[in-house]
Structure 1
């Protein structure tokens, strides 16, 4: 049975711009290992980042920058998280709004990364 997500891949225009964004805005750690995709690590998961001109095999049939749409969970209060977005000049596209996640009702905010990928950050009630 599947019990979690280890990683997923984002195809991007600029590896450096994307990594800088996720490091600055979400506190992810950039991991560069020779011969492997660059990764953005957080918790016990990661996002592999493939620059459109330098993808790794095997890959999606039609990797395209800006086609990602995913949800991340925060343990910070959303007001605090929103203040961090504002401090980093990240425009909120929607939220906070109530959504239903894998574990039930949650509050979510939506914004875009440098490639236009839609990032949803959510908090479950405590």
Structure 2
């Protein structure tokens, strides 16, 4: 079976910091933000690409779940695939924002073979891997900064 990632959900305690990070540093467009701020929808999202979003769940949606803490032990990290140009721009924005790089650049294997990755954390301490592949961009890759 082949399928696409539709969305992932991040549990959030500081929505403003997370939105600033994902829309500013990662340059992902916000979705439903006005409706969220108006109380019309329970959470906003940010768009990775035409097929995939990240939902940002405020504490009211996850605080009474069985998984302890905002993320529990279920999420190790997620990886954003992008062009080399977008990756370089992201690296510059991370440095400008004083966001520590935990690892990388380093070669890592992924969905399209071996690529070059950086690892860093968002304001809620989720580990993010940003990667580009040396081969031509794949249509399934994220288009951050493009």
TM norm structure 1: 0.85
Q: Once structures 1 and 2 are overlaid, which stretch shifts more, 93-102 or 64-73?
A: 64-73
What count of residue pairs does the alignment treat as equivalent? Answer: 123
- Name the CA distance, whole Å, in 1 between partners of 2:110 and 2:18: 26
Contact 1:29 1:41 survives alignment (8 Å): yes
Superposition CA RMSD, Å: 2.1
Structure (1 or 2) with the greater strand fraction = 1
Q: In the TM superposition, what are the counterparts of 1:40-119 in structure 2 within 5 Å?
A: 40-44=46-50, 45-52=52-59, 54-55=60-61, 61-62=66-67, 64-66=69-71, 68=75, 69-77=77-85, 78-119=87-128
SS of residue matched to 2:61: coil
Alignment correspondent of 2:22: 22
TM norm structure 2: 0.74
Structure (1 or 2) with the greater helix fraction = 2
Structure 2: 5+ residue stretches without partners: 136-146
SS of residue matched to 1:83: helix
